[in-house]
Structure 1
């Protein structure tokens, strides 16, 4: 009888004791954290610059990029500079060179066509370079990749110099066009 009481007491102690569950927190490797650090920036840019406003009754969205682009000269320049800032952050956080090239190409296409009055503004409603770059970053986060090297920085600087040159040319062309339009409206020579 004594044995049965002790066995029951031991059994109730075992049943009363809840199993201790250890929860482990798996920290992502440094590479993954760096990659994920880019997503909020590019998501925000994509939303604000390319998908901020939805046309009622449609699935079509546009952002501030085409609206800012309506400002002669300064609009396309400011949009390109915002996108270039994001490109610098991507290079700083180790995005591979080929992805930087694709992202740069999106910015350059948007800027080059954006220089053309009316056509460029209409193109900006459709092309959405920041949304394209966000999709590139999402793909980069989802798949393993390389680490940035000195050659990546040289590449990014060269692309930024080219981008800056295109922006400057766009400004010059825009101001010359505005000056000529002003002369025509004033009836002067």
Structure 2
């Protein structure tokens, strides 16, 4: 008998994205994983912008499955923490590795789906609030990245 996939629970894209962003390789001799998010964090400003954009994809996946807004708010908070800590030299890179916003957000998505939690809000209200919860941390991450790039540019042209 062939195993049927449940489209409501098939989160392959989010699972792969969380793995690539937070746990692509493990540091030998440790249980610490490094992903693309940590590498992007080495690019001041631009890396934070790219990382925020990729992280928003997991939230989009969660919203398209109508996870409760409280879950999206927690995911948004994880993205904000990641965006705020990212630009801090060295500490921000270590924080990216320790915080693992993408992995946390994937787990929140999985838990919500496993428990069968779905939003009871009406379609347009849910879409509007979900869009705000996704776009707000994304915009803040982009603004932080631009501020860092402008500051670096000003330092370089002096």
Would the TM-score normalized by the shorter structure come out above 0.5?
A: yes
Higher relative contact order, chain-length normalized (CA < 8 Å, sep 6+): 2
More helix by share: 1
Residue 67 of structure 1 and its aligned partner are, at CA, apart by: 0.6
Deviations 1:73-123 (A, max 9, x none): 110111110111221222122111111111111111101111223221121
Q: Is the 8 A contact 2:40 2:51 kept in 1?
A: yes
Query: Which stretches of structure 1, 4 residues or longer, exceed 4 Å deviation after superposition?
Result: 25-28
Q: How does 1:73-88 map to 2 (within 5 A)?
A: 73-88=45-60
Which protein is bigger by CA-based radius of gyration? Answer: 1
Take 2:4 and 2:23, find their aligned partners in 1: how far apart are those partners?
33
Take 1:154 and 1:168, find their aligned partners in 2: how far apart are those partners?
20
Task: Say yes or no: does 1:72 pair with 2:44.
Answer: yes
Q: How does 1:27-46 map to 2 (within 5 A)?
A: 33-37=6-10, 39-46=11-18
Q: How does 1:51-62 map to 2 (within 5 A)?
A: 51-62=23-34
Compute the RMSD of aligned alpha carbons.
2.3
Structure 1, unaligned stretches of length 5 or more?
Answer: 1-22
Number of equivalent positions: 156
Structure 2, unaligned stretches of length 5 or more?
Answer: none
Aligned to 2:101: 129
Deviations 1:27-71 (A, max 9, x none): 78xxxx34312x212211121010111111111111110111111
Q: Is the 8 A contact 1:42 1:133 kept in 2?
A: no
